[in-house]
Amino acid sequence: MPAVDKLLLEEALQDSPQTRSLLSVFEEDAGTLTDYTNQLLQAMQRVYGAQNEMCLATQQLSKQLLAYEKQNFALGKGDEEVITTLHYFSKVVDELNLLHTELTKQLADTMVLPIIQFREKDLTEVSTLKDLFGLASTEHDLSMAKYSRLPKKKENEKVKSEVAKEVAAARRKQHLSSLQYYCALNALQYRKRIAMMEPMLGYAQGQINFFKKGAEMFSKRMDSLLSDTRTMVQSIQEESEAEVEKMQLSQQELLSVDESVYTPDFDVAAPAVNRNLIQKAGYLNLRNKTGLVTTTWERLYFFTQGGNLMCQPRGAVAGGLIQDLDNCSVMAVDCEDRRYCFQITTPTGKPGITLQAESKKENEEWICAINNISRQIYLTDNPEAVAIKLNQTALQAVTPITSFGKKQDPSRPSQNRKHSGSENDKMVPNTPAKVSDADQLIVPGTPIQFDIVLPATEFLDQNRSGRRTNPFGESADEKQPDEEDSLLQQMFIVRFLGSMAVKTDSTSEVIYEAMRQVLAARAIHNIFRMTESHLMVTSKTLRLIDPQTQVTRASFELTSVTQFAAHQENKRLVGFIVRVPESAGEESLSAYVFESNTEGEKICYAISLGKEIIEAQKDPEALAQLMLSMPLTSNGKFVLLNDQPDSEDGNPNESKGAESEA
């Protein structure tokens, strides 16, 4: 027999959304089984009713055959042979009626009764345990909410102890009900197989007995099949009994755990905190504002995934994004006289979400984990080592304070450094290349520029004498001439990492070397801030556009882009080389490195297509062939499919953040 899916009893206590999601699958299976069982029972009752009707019909037929003799036919002479024959047939029908009566009784006992017992016993038990589990879960949630509302300033040990005992009792009750519910659902996977085959076994056996007594119409092969089916049912029964015994032992073992498993904040005096976590998951209370001064707290399941904080409510199939942890800061706070609260602040300094853990250990581990995740740098081979190195910084974040202004994140530059770091001429010398081949691509010690242009806000501040800004956030910029005439318009969301002068553009290796040196320089000099832009690829230019103001930050002629490539391992890194003429008649080469929200190969494909269009425009026939080979929009522009991730709609005004940090 194939393996049977089971709910793990060990995960009943944690009651995670993943377990609840798997439980919903079992519940859906039980609901489907209940509906199918009712339909199957109706079909079997119809068969039983038809067989019972067959008994009554054959009995009435026998009487009608005998009644032929008593009929006063006006032309009844010569009916003696008919009457004798009908008497014989009446006896045959009476014998068949006895067989039909016996078959009806067998169908009632071996086909209809087992399916009724399965519905009334097993399915009803699962439904009852489901209700008890729901009540226990609700009671546990209420007790946890009561425990979470315990005051911190006016702490009453007696009240705290009573509430903690109430939580422990509710949690134990929920654990017991969930174990019983899980065991019933697991056992149902075996019982449903027996319940489906046992009635049909009784039906087939009754039919065979009926036909054997009436006539030898069945072969020995049918007997062998029935024997094999009976053996299989017996094997499943034995396996079911062994599994039930195993689950009972496991249930007793899981219920024999220490009381500390059920009691929150059991080791408050000296919790064993792991400060080097890179991932974390568990239940937290989320603070929600319901008015100007009113708030509510909601207990949800949170987990980290990459650089994001995710939230998954009960019953949800997957989690949703709550907060991008990239370069966020986190610290413990006092909030509404609740214990173990901490707040996440965005890279711009704006307060984010406020969360509450159920114990001191959970509180400190969440703070340390988020602190470690928010400060990870790109291309880190050993994140655990980075977490240990940043452990001292994480310890400073677990001291409760009442204001974010009292604590400055040591990894974040001061306000003066932030303004000075956004200037156009910000240069950081890079370390020399480690291999001699790199010297042929980039001159050792070449300075690296980390800001391609002034941020859009500073650009507008310096040009306030120009056009006014629409206060409703609408952009009144006219389309660029090259956009109107361009056969290709493709937008990508990118973040500028750095640029530097290079010696050659004959190979893509120079781009890979520039990527390595730019990322290494950012890591060495702790430069994590990046400016987000919209890269518009047309058949004439590459333009970097500010996502908020639609101001063009930089523009490159597509004919001046001589080399472009995506990183071979980190698919989101992309770079290109631009050849710029100098005043003395010479030309300089500069490599620009970006990180994209999509695969860098798609940007390279768009640039390549733009160059093909430029070449094809020289020959009308080649241009026509190119347009026939590519999908076009209604206005005759080239279409690139699947160019953005699913979360992006292609509307530049929907991108809220102008800057992010590595």
pLDDT digits (tens, 9 = 90+) for 205-264: 888 888 877 765 445 554 665 676 677 778 878 988 999 999 999 988 888 887 777 887
For residue 69, the Cα-to-chain-centroid distance in whole angstroms is: 81
How many whole angstroms separate alpha carbon 373 and alpha carbon 428? 26
Q: What tokens were used for 75? A: 């032309």
**Rounded to an integer, what distance in angstroms lies between the CA atom of residue 651 and that of residue 463?**
26
In a domain, 637, yes or no: no
User: Is residue 316 predicted with pLDDT exceeding 50?
Assistant: yes
Strand-by-strand arrangement of the 320-324 sheet: 320-324, 308-312, 295-305, 281-289, 351-356, 338-345, 329-335
Q: How confident is the model at residue 639 (pLDDT cuts 50, 70, 90)?
A: low
Structure confidence by residue, pLDDT tens digits, 146-183? 888 888 877 788 888 888 898 899 989 989 999 999 89
On whether both 510 and 601 belong to a single domain, the answer is: yes
What is the reported pTM? 0.40
Q: Is pLDDT of 414 > 50?
A: no
180: left (phi over 0), alpha (psi -120 to 50) or beta: alpha
Structural contact between residues 615 and 609, judged by C-beta atoms closer than 8 angstroms:
no
Note whether residue 528 is domain-resident: yes
DSSP string for residues in 27-76: HHHHHHHHHHHHHHHHHHHHHHHHHHHHHHHHHHHHHHHHHTTT---TT-
Sign, Cα dihedral of 52, 54, 56, 58: negative
Q: Using DSSP, state whether 227 is helix, strand or coil.
A: helix
Residues 120 and 57 in one domain: yes
Q: Are residues 495 and 616 in the same domain?
A: yes
Is the pLDDT at 451 greater than 80? The verdict is no
- Same domain for 521 and 611: yes
Q: How many whole angstroms separate alpha carbon 185 and alpha carbon 198? A: 20
* pLDDT at residue 486, rounded to an integer: 64
At 2, is the pLDDT very low, low, confident or very high (cuts 50, 70, 90)?
low
Q: Confirm whether 237 is domain-assigned.
A: no
In a domain, 507, yes or no: yes
200 lies in the same domain as 299: no
Distance (Å, rounded) from C-alpha 254 to C-alpha 249? Answer: 9
Tokens 């704006």: give the residue.
350
Of the three residues 218, 233, 260, the one that is the final residue of a domain is: 218
Does residue 287 share a domain with residue 200? no
pLDDT at 549: 83
255: in domain? no
Question: Which domain does 96 fall in, by range?
Answer: 17-150+161-218
Q: Return mean pLDDT, the chain.
A: 76
Percent of the chain's residues with pLDDT above 70: 74
With contact defined as beta carbons under 8 Å apart, do 622 and 616 qualify? yes
Half-sphere exposure for 110 (CA within 13 Å, toward CB): 17
Q: How confident is the model at residue 35 (pLDDT cuts 50, 70, 90)?
A: very high
Q: 558: which DSSP letter?
A: G
Cα torsion angle, 121, 126, 127, 132, sign: positive
Q: What angle do CA 124, 125, 127 make, to 5 degrees?
A: 65
Whether 175 and 90 map to the same domain: the answer is yes
d(CA 215, CA 209): 10
Looking at the fold, whether 55 and 176 belong to one and the same domain comes out as yes
Number of independent structural domains in the chain: 3
Same domain, 176 and 110: yes
Return the higher-pLDDT residue of 376 and 29. Answer: 29
Question: What is the rounded radius of gyration, in angstroms, for the C-alpha atoms of the chain?
Answer: 39
Token pair of 503, please?
């010696």
Bridge partners of residue 283, in order along the sequence: 301
> In which element (H, E) is residue 334 found?
strand 329-335
Asked if 48 and 104 count as a contact pair (C-beta separation under 8 A), the reply is: yes
Q: Same domain for 296 and 445?
A: no
3-state class (DSSP) for residue 42: helix
SS3 call for 196: helix
| Residue 279, φ and ψ in degrees, nearest 5 | -135, 150
- Would 110 be classed as within a structural domain? yes
Q: Give the angle 597-599-601 at the CA atoms, nearest 5°.
A: 140
Decide if 356 is inside a domain.
yes
Instruction: For residues 77 and 57, give the distance between their C-alpha atoms in angstroms, rounded to a whole number.
Output: 29
Q: How many Cβ atoms from other residues are within 10 Å of residue 165's Cβ?
A: 14
Return left, alpha or beta for 310; rule: phi > 0 is left, psi -120 to 50 is alpha, else beta: beta
Q: Same domain, yes or no, for 204 and 316?
A: no
Indicate the residue type of 165. Answer: K
* Residue 487 φ then ψ, to 5°: -80, -10
Q: How far, in Å, are 7, 79, 96 from residue 215 at the CA level?
A: 50, 30, 11
Backbone phi and psi for residue 416, each to the nearest 5 degrees, phi listed first: -65, -40
Share of the chain above pLDDT 90, in %: 16
Token pair for 338: 């609740």
Between CA 313 and CA 299 the distance in angstroms is 9
- Domain C-terminal end among 178, 203, 218: 218
Report pLDDT digits (tens) over 68-116. Answer: 888 877 776 656 767 877 887 787 788 788 888 888 998 999 999 999 9
CATH number for the domain harbouring residue 61: 1.20.1270.60
The reply to whether 346 falls in a domain is yes
| Residue 462 in this model has a pLDDT that exceeds 70 | no
Regarding whether 129 and 25 lie in a shared domain, the answer is yes
Half-sphere exposure at residue 606, Cβ-oriented, CA atoms within 13 angstroms: 29
CATH code for the domain in which residue 578 is found: 2.30.29.30
Classify residue 270 by its DSSP letter.
S
| Measured distance CA(88)–CA(277) in Å, rounded | 91
Average pLDDT over residues 262-281: 79
**Tokens describing residue 366:** 């969440």
Of 202, 218, 234, which one is at a domain's C-terminal end?
218
